[in-house]
Structure 1
Amino acid sequence: MTSESELIDVNERRIQALLDADFDTLDQYIAAEMIYTSPKGKTMTRDQVFEGFRAGIVRAEKMTMTNVEARVVGDAGVVTYTADSVTRDQHGPVSAVVQATATFIRRDGRWQLLASHSTPISE
């Protein structure tokens, strides 16, 4: 398995853990110092993101990834993909199609998400 295919696999497992609300698995794949930028430009830490999911304020219901590509240089890697997703918050379901960039670092022999950014795609 190439480093790129390994990184794509890790990203897919991270997304599945998010859909399953499996925080034990998410803890393995998301660095404590992770920063997330939402499609609306809001920046949050890992703890802030997890807080919303753990409290049930936000729930990921669907995410289909296409156009997935990965690049690895040393202990850094980037996965880009198009995501068709449905999340649910206190106002109801939110559907979005975004172009996402997930930046990973390899730490202690495993990949962890360090930064994630999503940009809405206009249809």
Structure 2
Amino acid sequence: LDKHHILNVKSGILHKGTGENQFLTQQPAIITSIMGNGRRRSISCPSCNGLAEGNKLLAPVALAVGIDGSLYVGDFNYIRRIFPSRNVTSILELRNKEFKHSNNPAHKYYLAVDPVSGSLYVSDTNSRRIYRVKSL
């Protein structure tokens, strides 16, 4: 945007200082879905690997980008990796260790990638710990 432009959000028109108007409804889409189809996956995730497009999600809670362009998705109880080829694989299943025989997932966490080594880190707010994933 320029200081001479006026954006009319209600009508979806960008009025340029040159007198030209751009209608936002006539612009190409700038957002595309790379994973998920609007349906929930099961907690056990038996068919989570394969093409990312159309692959079900349960509750995506965290994202991080790897140095190779991979996207790490924290999907409730699984951490999943979308490769640049758009294939997805589950790399880690998280469980709540506070209850010895619990199947309740640890789902309050964050993801980060070291930009030099490419290591993936997971911070778990329940255990107040940060973990490094050793193999991807």
TM-score by length of 2: 0.29
Question: Which structure is higher in strand share?
Answer: 1
Q: Which has the higher contact order (CA 8 A, sep 6+)?
A: 1
Whose helix fraction is larger, Structure 1's or Structure 2's? 1
TM, length-normalised to structure 1: 0.31
Tell me which structure has the larger Cα radius of gyration. Answer: 2
